[in-house]
Each structure stands twice: as C-alpha cells, then as structure tokens.
Amino acid sequence: MEGKRGFELTKSLCKEYKGFFKIGAAVDAEDIFRYQGILQQHFNSITSENDMKFEKIHPERGRFAWDASDKLVEYATRSGKYMRGHTLLWHEQMPGWICDENTDILTREDTLKVMEEHISEIVSRYKGRVNCWDVVNEVIDNDDGFLRKTRWFDIIGEDYIDKAFHYAREADPKAQLFLNEFNGNQQEKQERICTLVERLKKKRVPIHGIGIQGHYSIAYPKMEEVRAEIERYARLGLQIHITELDVSLFEYSDRRPHLGVDVFERQKRQEEMYYRLFEVYRQYSDVVTNVTLWGVADDDTWLDDFPVKGRKDAPLLFDVDLKPKAALYAVMEFGGEQYGTAS
Ligand code: GLA
C-alpha cells in the first residue's frame, strides 16, 4: 500500500494538518515503544488511554500510582507533543475504595474531599505539562434523567461538576478544561450537553471546551449531524476537540462473531467515512483544534471486545502490522475527487 496514490509515506499526517488542528492518538505508557515510529512521524498530540483513569492512578485513598502516567507525560514533554489528560472523573474504571458497598466515604463533605484530593494532586503534578483535561467524562444521562446517576452525583449532587472544574482550575490555571461526551450528534443528547454547558457558563465555571468522542462506524453518523453538532457547540463559544475517533467496520446492531466476505467493501466504506469526517473537521478548523484517534493501530483497539467480546475489528488508520491503511491516505488527500462532496 505504501506509495499508492502518488506519494510516498514520507509525508506526515500531523504536518499535513498543520494550520488546521492537532492530530492525536490515545496511548498508554506501555504502548510508546511499540508505536514510537508512527507517533513520531504522524502525531503531535497524545491522550492517556487508561493510565490516568481513577482506579489506575489512585488505587487507594491517598496513594497515587504515578509510574505509567509519569512516563506518558515525560514522553509528551520530551517529544514536544500536546498532552490531553483523560479523565479526572468518570463513572467507570473506578476503584473499590470509593464504589464498594463497604466504602466509608458516604457524606457529601467526605466525598467532596476525596474528589478535591484526586483532582488537585493529579492536575498540580502535571501543571504546565498536561495541556488540557477531560475534567468530566460522560456525565449526561442517556435515558431518563438529565445528569447520569453516578457516585459523585448521588452523594454530592449536581454541583459536583462545578466543583470538579474549579478544583482543576485552581491546580493549573492555564490548563484547558473539557467536558467529554458521546452521542452528541443525536438531538436530545446534544440539547442536554448544551443545557449543562450553558448552566456552567452562567455560574462562571471555568470550562473551555467540549470533547466529541466520535466512536463511529461505517454506517454512522451522517455528515449533516457532524456539522450540526460542531456548529451548535461553537455557538456556545467553546473550542472543540474530537477526542476518541474510531470507525468500526461493524454497524452497532451487527453482532455477528466476525467479518464476512464483504470485508473489502466495508474497508472502502471506512475509508470514505474517514475522508468525509476529516473534510468536515477541516471546514471547522477555527473551532475544532484537536482530532484524536482512540488508539494508534488495529493491533490494539477496545472494539475487539465491544460490543462483541473477542471479535476482531479494525477501526483505525494503521493496520495490525502498523502499516498505513487506505483510510490514512484518504484523510491526507484533501479534495479527493473519488469521494465526491460530503452530504
Ligand atoms: C469511553 C471512555 C474512554 C474509553 C472508551 C472505550 O469513551 O471515555 O476512556 O474507555 O470509552 O474504551
């Protein structure tokens, strides 16, 4: 595949996008060595995939496990990459000492204290080196309510979100602070996200951006939805990061155990989806300042276990052998006439 379409892959994805936005990848410290060539050539931003998640970085009250996150931040600093910290508060990958039924953290006061310790310790340790934080992740309810019923919400109440942003701001006044969400291309969810952000802004909570996760598939989303979501958030006066982009070869409802004979056709659709997404992102590069993929290559993707455990997927721009895929060429090809204009 190398050399296809008239250029050698001596080109660099992030250099092609200079002047538009940064190009990122989610990695853990243990991945850096394996991916170092690709990271060096193609990416100028990295996100911590798991190393900064609560259960990993703060496994016991007052004890922080810094090894992996330190390595990641040192790597980002040394290689001059923008660093996205992910994530200070999320309802998953939480440690037992907070969530078990035997937990002794039960009052609003104590829960706020734990939250403050967590956020202040982490953000101040990486002050000036982690450029932005997903302060809260997936806090909007997908079904009945407005905010998701998490441990933080149940004990502290709705203002836990305000407090989280304030604690982060105090610990590093220059870091950009984000709310990160999925499915915001769907109308109802998008309205909830905007309502929350408007409330926060009214209360002068320091929020600078919205993260659009972007876990997509070859059949979803429609480009008009992608545009509408970006335009809606831009009207709130915040910057936008695409934080977790991947394009599954399976439609979400497809629960077959593996790909069928139509794999080639699916790869073509993936290539086209990537082309169209990046075409739209480029059109909004005044507000979209970072586009990050949720992984580097198809050898390691969370989609191998979701929504079907153990089913191989291939949602990224590099293949299982870390070689560039057609989708990579597609996003580096501006105005590629074979895809037509995005609808
Ligand atoms: C969510 C989280 C990420 C990651 C992905 C998939 O989107 O924000 O940290 O865990 O799920 O694994």
pLDDT of residue 194: 98
Catalytic residue among 49, 181, 229, 244: 244
pLDDT tens, residue by residue, 216-267: 999 999 999 999 999 999 999 999 999 999 999 999 999 999 998 899 999 9
Q: What is the pLDDT of residues 258-276, one digit of tens each?
A: 998 899 999 999 999 999 9
Catalytic, out of 49, 138, 272, 279:
138
Helix (H, G, I), strand (E, B) or coil at 215: strand
Ligand 1, residue 244: give the atom nearest the CA. Answer: 7
Residue 330: pLDDT over 60: yes
- Cα 16 to Cα 3: distance, rounded to the nearest angstrom: 16
Residues 109, 112, 113, 117: what is their CA dihedral angle, to the nearest 10 degrees? 180
Among 178, 302, 303, name the best residue to mutate to test ligand 1's pocket (greatest count of ligand atoms within 8 A of Cβ). 302
Residue type at 123? V
Q: What is the pTM of this model?
A: 0.96
CB under 8 Å to 66, separation ≥6 — which residues? 57, 125
- Told to judge if 2 belongs to the known catalytic residues of this protein, a careful annotator would answer no
Residue 85, beta-bridge partner list = 133
Q: Is 244 a catalytic residue?
A: yes
Cα distance between residue 294 and residue 145, in whole Å: 28
Mutate to test the pocket of ligand 1, among 180, 294, 309, 316 (most ligand atoms within 8 A of CB): 294
CB 47 near ligand 1, within 6 Å: no
